[in-house]
Structure 1
Amino acid sequence: MNRVVHPIEQESFRRLRARLDTSHFPPLTRAVVERVIHSAADLEYATDLVMDEDDLVKAHAALHAGAPVVVDVEMVAAGITRRETVCRLGEAVSGPGLTRSAHAVRLAYEQVGPGALWVIGCAPTALEELLTLDASPALVIGLPVGFVGAAESKEALRASGLPAVSNVSEKGGSAVAAAALNALLYHPTSSEEIS
């Protein structure tokens, strides 16, 4: 099913491309970079984001084959269009050494098991907890925002070797994380490109 793009969105991307040449990026990387920049109106993401095209190709295939999508907060879920998500934050509790966000990641992993796409845009502790699990994710979009733990959790994600989209700075957030996943959702599959 082809997505209808509103004229305002078309003009926004035209202006983005007039201000920033993204043509050197491979296709899925370009899609993620442009969609993230579009969501934040922040051109610096072009040099701040870190990802691997091969990881994105595999994640794109997994996503379009129906792999579960897990989010850390409802704000991320609200930004993801055309796809159901799993968010267990409402059932999670905090305790000694465990935030609600970290507990929610545990609960979600118990529900979905390995092979999911994880989209973390709010809580560094959710990303830290995910890294302790044997989640074998299809992809981790780790873009939590903040001055405490955000950059460090994303650095740990990159060091883990897991397939990931992250960024180097403290920037991030729910809208940015959702935009990265939407880029993969909106990018056509091989069968859609043929039709």
Structure 2
Amino acid sequence: MNRVVHPIEQESFRRLRSRLDTSHFPPLTRAVVERVIHSAADLEYASDLVMDEGTLAKAHAALHSGAPVVVDVEMVAAGITRRETVCRLREAVSGPGLTRSAHAVRLAFEQVGPGALWVIGCAPTALEELLTLDASPALVIGLPVGFVGAAESKAALRESGLPAVSNVSEKGGSAVAAAALNALLYTPLSYSEEKQ
């Protein structure tokens, strides 16, 4: 089923591209950069995001082959418009040394096992917990936001060597994390052809 793009979205991307040349990015990287910028109206993401085209290609294939998508909060799930997601935050509890978000990651991993795509847009502790598990993810979109632990958790993700999309700064959030995943969902299997 082809996605119908609303005229407002088309105009938004046209304006984005009039302000920022994204043509030098490889196809999937460009898709992620543009969709994240579109979600936040923040051109700085073009230089703040960190990702690798080869990693995105493998994640894109896994996603379109039906790999599970796990999110840290329902706000991220609400932004992912064309795919069912797993979010275990409602059942999670906090305890000594464990936040609800971290516990939710444990519960989700017990449910989906290895090979999932993980989309973390809210809680740095969720990303930190994921890094302690043997999750063998297809991709970790690690874009939590905040002044406490966000930049550090994303740096730890990059140092882990896991396949990832992250950013260097403290900014991020549910909308941009969902946008990064949507970029891969919306990009057709024949993504080598120019997108949009």
Q: Deviations over 1:11-40 (max 9, x none)?
A: 000000000000000000000000000000
Give yes or no for contact 2:120–2:144 (8 Å, CA) kept in 1: yes
Segments of 5+ residues of structure 2 without an aligned counterpart are none
Aligned equivalents of 1:187, 1:160: Cα separation in 2: 27
> Given the superposition, is the C-alpha separation of residues 192 and 13 from structure 1 closer, same or farther in structure 2, using an over 3 Å criterion?
closer
8 Å contact 2:27–2:194 — kept in the other structure? Answer: no
Q: Post-superposition shift, 1:192?
A: 10
Query: Which aligned runs of 4 or more in structure 1 are off by greater than 6 angstroms?
Result: 191-195
2:166 aligned partner: 166
Aligned partners of 2:31 and 2:195 also within 8 Å: no
The match for 1:60 is 60
The TM-score, its normalising length taken from structure 2, stands at 0.97
Verify: 1:6 aligned to 2:23, yes or no.
Answer: no
Could you give the per-residue CA deviations for residues 14-73 of structure 1, whole angstroms, max 9, x where no partner exists? Answer: 000000000000000000000000000000000000000000000000000000000000
Structure 1 portions without partners, runs of 5+: none
Q: Distance in 1 between matches of 2:26 and 2:11?
A: 22
Counterpart-to-counterpart distance in 1, 2:93 and 2:83: 26
Percent same amino acid at aligned positions? 93
Measured in 2, the distance between the counterparts of 1:184 and 1:98 equals 31
Partners of 2:183 and 2:14 in 1: CA distance: 16
1:128 deviation in Å?
A: 0.1
Over 3 Å counting, the alpha-carbon distance change for 1:95 and 1:118 in structure 2 is: same
Query: CA separation in 1, counterparts of 2:2 and 2:171?
Result: 31
Q: CA deviation at 1:96?
A: 0.2
Corresponding pairs, count: 195
In structure 2, the residue matched to 1:19 is 19
Q: Distance in 1 between matches of 2:122 and 2:59?
A: 21
- Cα deviation for residue 102 of structure 1 reads 0.2
Q: Distance in 2 between the 1:114 and 1:79 partners? A: 23
| Equivalent in the alignment of 1:193 | 194
Q: Secondary structure at the match of 2:83?
A: coil
For 1:142 and 1:14, the matched residues in 2 are separated by 27
